Amino acid sequence: MSEPESPAAAAGLVVGEDGLARCPWGLSTPDYVAYHDTEWGRPVHGDDALFERICLEAFQSGLSWITILRRREGFRAAFRGFAIDEVAAFTDADRERLLGDPGIIRNRAKIDASIANAAAAQEVRKTYDGGLDALVWSFAPDAATRPAPRTAADVPATTPESAALAKDLKKRGFRFVGPTTAYALMQACGLVNDHLAGCSAR
């Protein structure tokens, strides 16, 4: 007779050697353990910080997040710390520099999108009270209306709020910001808390 499944396992959680229950992906690599425990789902504020996340989520499109996470410091160096004003001023020479940089994902369309998104973020600062930070966070749903997901199957890929955020960003000139990418941004930056019920990081 097999042992009964633990409550954590039944919920899809994984328990590490430290005894902490985590979301199913949160124990798959050491990089993910740190990211899951200290970053994912925690509120991110600041125009440059949110611009960085928008860019990295765009680069992640079609790839695994671990690919981006392991190159994040390379991205930060290549994109001048994701300072909006600096990236908006990038020239054709910068584009060629980025295309030759092995520390990032060398995709011309995504590089061009990041530079265009910096210019779009500058416009948001001029036209939206509170800038990019206030704009992005205006799409955060009421936490009281979102019960904690009990299993990974309860975590959506898109929501009405992420579709609305993507639509608004596109209208303002942002690229690579579809509803799925926008929802990943919302999860990563704490606009929603999709750590499973029972997860130690929730």
- Given 32, 35, 40, 183, the catalytic residue: 35
- Given 65, 86, 123, 128, the catalytic residue: 65
Q: Is 65 labeled as catalytic in the residue annotation? A: yes
| Structure tokens that stand for 103 in this block | 């520390």
- Given 32, 40, 57, 183, the catalytic residue: 57
Nearest to 120 by CA among 82, 85, 92, 77: 85
Q: Is 57 labeled as catalytic in the residue annotation? A: yes
Sign of the four-CA dihedral 140, 160, 39, 150: positive
* Residue 105: exposure state from Cβ atoms within 10 A (0-12, 13-18, ≥19): buried
φ, ψ of residue 183 in degrees (nearest 5)? -70, -40
Specify the residue for token string 């989520």: 57
Nearest to 113 by CA among 192, 66, 54: 54
What Rg, from alpha-carbon coordinates, does the chain have?
18
- Which amino acid is it at 30? P
**Residue 69 DSSP label:** H
Active-site residues, by number, are 35, 57, 65
